Amino acid sequence: MDKPELLVLGDLPDWDLAAMAERYTLHLLYEAPDPEALLARHAGNIRGIVTKGEIGASAALLDRLPRLEIVACYGVGVDAIDRPWCAAHGIPVTNTPDVLTEDMADMAFALLLGAARRIPAADA
C-alpha cells in the first residue's frame, strides 16, 4: 500500500523526519532545487502539510493541493497559516501548544532578574 504524501515546508530535526518517513512519503520543499517543479509534480497527491510557525501556509499554496486533509504546524505559532482558508475548506490546523511555556517563563524571569540587578550593564 502506498504511503500518504506530505509536503514538508521547513527544515525539521532528522529524528522527526525519520519517524515521519516510516509512515509517509515526504516531499521536502525546502530542499527542492526547483520548488515549483516539485509542486507541479506532486500537488495532486499531497494529503498533508508539515510547516513551522515562521513559515506558515498561504492560501496560494493551499489552493494548489486538491487532496489536502491537514496542516500540521511544528511549533506553537499559527499566525502565518491561512486559517480562514483552512476553516472554509474543512481542513484542520494543528500545532504544539504549551511545549515552550516553561522555557518562556524561565527566560522572562531571567530577563527580569537581569534588568533588576543591572547584570547586562555590569557585564559591559
Q: Flag whether 113 is in a domain.
A: no
Residue 109 lies inside a defined structural domain of this protein: no
* CATH code assigned at 79: 3.40.50.720
In a domain, 38, yes or no: yes
| pTM of structure | 0.81
Judge whether 110 lies within some domain: no
- 11 inside domain: yes
Beta strands 93-94; 5-8: pairing state: unpaired
| Domain tally, the chain | 1
In tens, the pLDDT along 53-83 reads 999 999 999 999 999 999 999 987 899 999 9
What domain range is 92 assigned to?
Answer: 5-97
Q: For residue range 26-41, what is the model confidence (pLDDT) as tens digits?
A: 999 999 999 999 999 9
Q: What three-state secondary structure class fits 44?
A: helix
Q: Is 35 exposed, middle or buried (0-12, 13-18, 19+ CB in 10 A)?
A: middle
